[in-house]
């Protein structure tokens, strides 16, 4: 879910575009994408397409059509399906993407929202989906009402009907406390999202080993042992140090400090970890 960094200018432009689209969709939270499809005459086919894609935006005979893969425990209104539809709407609303499809210069392509890799196009569509489903002004107001921490991410995930992973990526941008989020996923490489404040201070390379390789007593490892594989586990908290989690911070560095590690099992999806730094860092 974590994705390639875009320039600040491009990210802000996409955020504004997505916010306008959310307003056009009705301006309600959680955002409802389907009325927007109707108003733009975009036809829609949810269904089980195996492992072929998460979503596809297709242009044919002058019309746009979205395919959304509904499989396993997904359903048309699930958080994954909503993010997929938002992603494909990103391809539609971002002028360069839509025009390239409409002109035939590029063919329709399968999108995998967890595998944007180094693709700028896919990163831009993921960014649009994030800001479309979590409009910046609404999200900031909601964050301000929450006590900083993982519980806030879980609450915001429910409010905006977006996965905890997608919420965490946005949360680190808006949290009043400097923080970083990490996701430990079974069979996949961990990812990390670091807030702009920490990046400016040089905490820009997160060390995310496999969760089983963490020392005993770390909150993430304790959460990993939580038997709640079919649902949300209990939030675990423990003190830690910046030097452990950030490869370019030495134990003797003045940038090393005591931080709070919070972690929770997200069922079979893995362990979501939030690292909270002291205020006024």
Token code pair at residue 137: 């002004």
CB 277 within 8 A of CB 242: yes
**Nearest-angstrom CA–CA distance, 162 and 99:** 28
Residue 12: helix, strand or coil by DSSP? helix
What is the per-residue pLDDT across 233-279, written as a single tens digit (0 to 9) for each? 899 999 999 999 998 899 999 999 999 999 999 998 899 999 999 98
Quote the percentage of the chain above a pLDDT of 70.
96
Residue 107: HSE in the Cβ half-sphere, 13 Å Cα cutoff: 2
**Nearest-angstrom CA–CA distance, 25 and 57:** 19
pLDDT of residue 228: 65
Q: What is the pTM of this model?
A: 0.91
Mean of pLDDT over the chain: 91
The three-point CA angle 75-42-89 to 5° equals: 70
Pairing of strands 43-47, 63-69: parallel
Which CATH architecture fits 8-133?
Orthogonal Bundle (1.10)
* 247 conformational bin, left if phi > 0, alpha if psi -120 to 50, beta if neither: alpha
What is the per-residue pLDDT across 185-195, written as a single tens digit (0 to 9) for each? 888 888 999 99
In this predicted structure, the answer to whether residue 75 has a pLDDT above a threshold of 80 is no
What is the per-residue pLDDT across 126-140, written as a single tens digit (0 to 9) for each? 999 999 999 999 999
Task: Report whether the peptide linkage leading into residue 30 is cis, meaning its omega lies within 30 degrees of zero.
Answer: yes
pLDDT of residue 212: 87
Q: Where are the domains of the chain?
A: 8-133, 178-276
């Amino acid at each position: 879910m974590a994705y390639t960094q875009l320039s600040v200018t491009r990210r802000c432009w996409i955020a504004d575009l997505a916010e306008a689209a959310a307003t056009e969709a009705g301006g309600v939270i959680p955002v409802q994408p389907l009325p927007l499809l109707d108003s733009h005459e975009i036809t829609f086919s949810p269904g089980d397409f195996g492992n072929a894609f998460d979503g596809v935006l297709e242009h044919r005979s002058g019309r746009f059509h979205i395919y959304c893969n509904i499989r396993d425990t997904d359903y048309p209104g699930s958080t994954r399906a909503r993010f997929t539809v938002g992603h494909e709407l990103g391809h539609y609303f971002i002028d360069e993407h839509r025009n390239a499809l409409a002109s035939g210069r590029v063919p329709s392509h399968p999108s995998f929202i967890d595998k944007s890799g180094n693709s700028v196009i896919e990163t831009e569509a993921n960014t649009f989906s994030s800001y479309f489903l979590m409009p910046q002004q609404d999200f900031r107001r909601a964050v301000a009402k929450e006590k900083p921490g993982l519980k806030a991410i879980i609450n915001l995930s429910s409010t905006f009907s977006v996965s905890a992973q997608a919420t965490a990526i946005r949360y680190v941008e808006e949290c009043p406390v400097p923080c970083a989020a990490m996701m430990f996923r079974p069979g996949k490489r961990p990812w990390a999202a670091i807030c702009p404040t920490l990046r400016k201070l040089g905490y820009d390379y997160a060390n995310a080993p496999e969760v089983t390789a963490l020392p005993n007593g770390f909150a993430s490892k304790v959460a990993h042992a939580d038997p709640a594989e079919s649902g949300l586990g209990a939030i675990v908290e423990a003190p830690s140090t910046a030097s452990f989690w950030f490869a370019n911070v030495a134990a003797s560095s003045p940038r090393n400090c005591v931080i709070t590690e919070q972690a929770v099992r997200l069922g079979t999806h893995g362990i979501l970890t939030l690292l909270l730094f002291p205020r006024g860092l």
